[in-house]
Amino acid sequence: MLWAFSFPGIHFLAVVPCIWVVGIAAVTWLVRGVTYLRSRRRAAHSGTALLFAIAPAGALVLALVLHANFPLRARWQSSKSDFQNAVEEVRAEPANWASWKPRRIGTYTITSVRIVDEGVIFYDEVGALSDDAGFAYLPHGPSTKMANASFENPQWLALGDHWYAWTASW
């Protein structure tokens, strides 16, 4: 689950099996809880009810970690220097980046690059299901004028130092 949420968009093919696993675990937890309560009423139980708090506590921790975008931020930090180097290369020779071929930058596969004003937008291979996603270096921050027919309604997540993760419709 953490890996699926470490992309600027959610890795849909990775998250679907995780949802099934979490769903099966929740149903199992619920059935075991009901069984425990029934046996407790008959005074035929063993163990403590405190053990049943572990699963909801784990689910709460997972929800908080995902809500804080921790998987994306942690993976981004390991790739940030490679992206900073790529920005310098793009700025030095922008004509060479017009014929971009997919390549790895840090731990991400970047399929294309777009130069905007003084910034650079990188498109991640995974995207966000049917939308595009990636990273952007924007020294002056995101601008509404960046939106166009192939970059509709961009959503930005600030990563610090003028870097953003983004998703946008196409």
Q: Give the pLDDT confidence of 111-165 residue by residue, as tens digits.
A: 989 888 778 999 999 877 778 899 999 999 888 777 776 677 888 999 999 999 9
Query: What was the pLDDT predicted at 149?
Result: 64
Query: What single-letter DSSP state applies at residue 154?
Result: E
* pTM (two decimals): 0.82
Q: Does pLDDT of 88 surpass 80?
A: yes
Q: What is the DSSP string of 8-71?
A: SS--HHHHHHHHHHHHHHHHHHHHHHHHHHHHHHTT---S-GGGGGHHHHHHHHHHHHHHTTHH
Q: Give the pLDDT confidence of 15-62 residue by residue, as tens digits.
A: 888 889 989 988 998 898 888 888 877 877 666 777 777 888 888 999
